[in-house]
């Protein structure tokens, strides 16, 4: 990567982080149901467009790999067990995104696409920015930010551990596809659970 491309790469990632965290601010929609739908859509489209070069770089043939799905299966198991354990210990409180998924018909789409965006932000970008740190240190920092981003104190530790599981999956599989697919399945499981609860 040339120096010029490297600067462009970092600026692109900084712009993604800015859009992501501004759009995630709890009061970004100001309680307006239309903004609550529009803002996530704009954030989603913007980040996907900004990440298109990164996403194109991935070899789609990996999706045919049994090893990949082996890691996905383990990841789903780790995450489900972790969330079940922490729910038993600390109870359950819905995040703002989960509440929105129940209130707005279009929001379940963002629950799925959000998995892709969150993995790009928390695993690809933040971990790459801390690449000089020991893996578990950068994983802890990234996952702490991931947990705080969900604005749910009751489930902070649960999100922290799940975030570290995603980091572990990314490192061991050497592809972002594994945490993305795992995250999508976890979100779908959560969405089904919320639908049953509501």
Cα torsion 86, 90, 92, 97: sign: negative
Whether 133 is in a domain gets the answer yes
Q: DSSP class of residue 132?
A: T
- How much of the chain exceeds pLDDT 70, in percent? 77
Helix %, strand %, coil % for the chain, to 5?
80, 0, 20
4 burial type by CB count under 10 A (0-12 exposed, 13-18 middle, 19+ buried) = exposed
Query: Tell me: the pLDDT tens digits for 106-149?
Result: 566 767 788 989 999 999 999 999 999 999 999 999 999 999 98
**Residue 22 located in a structural domain:** no
**How many Cβ atoms are within 10 Å of 178's Cβ, its own excluded?**
28
State the DSSP code for 64: G
With beta carbons less than 8 A apart as the criterion, state whether 176 and 119 touch: yes
Look at residue 80 and tell me if it is in a domain.
Answer: yes
Closest listed residue to residue 121, CA positions, set 9, 39, 16, 43: 16
Evaluate whether residue 44 is within a structural domain: no
| pLDDT one-digit tens code per residue, 48-58 | 888 887 777 77
Residue 115 resides in a domain: yes
Q: How far apart are CA 180 and CA 117, in angstroms?
A: 9
The model carries a pTM of 0.83
The domain tally of the chain equals: 1
168 in any annotated domain: yes
The residue segments making up the domain with residue 137 are 59-197
pLDDT digits (tens, 9 = 90+) for 171-192: 999 999 999 999 999 988 887 8
Residue-averaged pLDDT of the chain: 82
């Amino acid at each position: 990567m040339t120096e010029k491309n490297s600067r462009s790469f970092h600026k692109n990632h900084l712009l993604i982080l800015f859009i992501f965290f501004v759009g995630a601010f709890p009061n970004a929609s100001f309680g307006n149901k239309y903004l609550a739908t529009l803002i996530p859509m704009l954030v989603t489209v913007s980040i996907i467009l900004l990440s298109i070069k990164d996403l194109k770089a991935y070899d789609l043939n990996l999706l045919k790999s049994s090893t990949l799905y082996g890691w996905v299966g383990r990841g789903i198991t780790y995450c489900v067990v972790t969330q079940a354990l922490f729910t038993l210990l600390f109870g359950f409180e819905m995040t703002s995104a989960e509440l929105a998924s129940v209130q707005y018909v279009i929001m379940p789409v963002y629950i799925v696409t959000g998995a892709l965006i969150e993995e790009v932000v928390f695993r690809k970008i933040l971990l790459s920015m801390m690449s000089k740190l020991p893996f578990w240190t950068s994983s802890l920092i990234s996952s702490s930010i991931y947990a705080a981003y969900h604005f749910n104190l009751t489930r902070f530790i649960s999100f922290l551990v799940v975030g570290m599981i995603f980091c572990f999956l990314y490192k061991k599989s050497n592809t972002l596809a594994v945490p993305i697919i795992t995250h999508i399945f976890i979100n779908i499981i959560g969405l089904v659970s919320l639908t049953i609860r509501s």
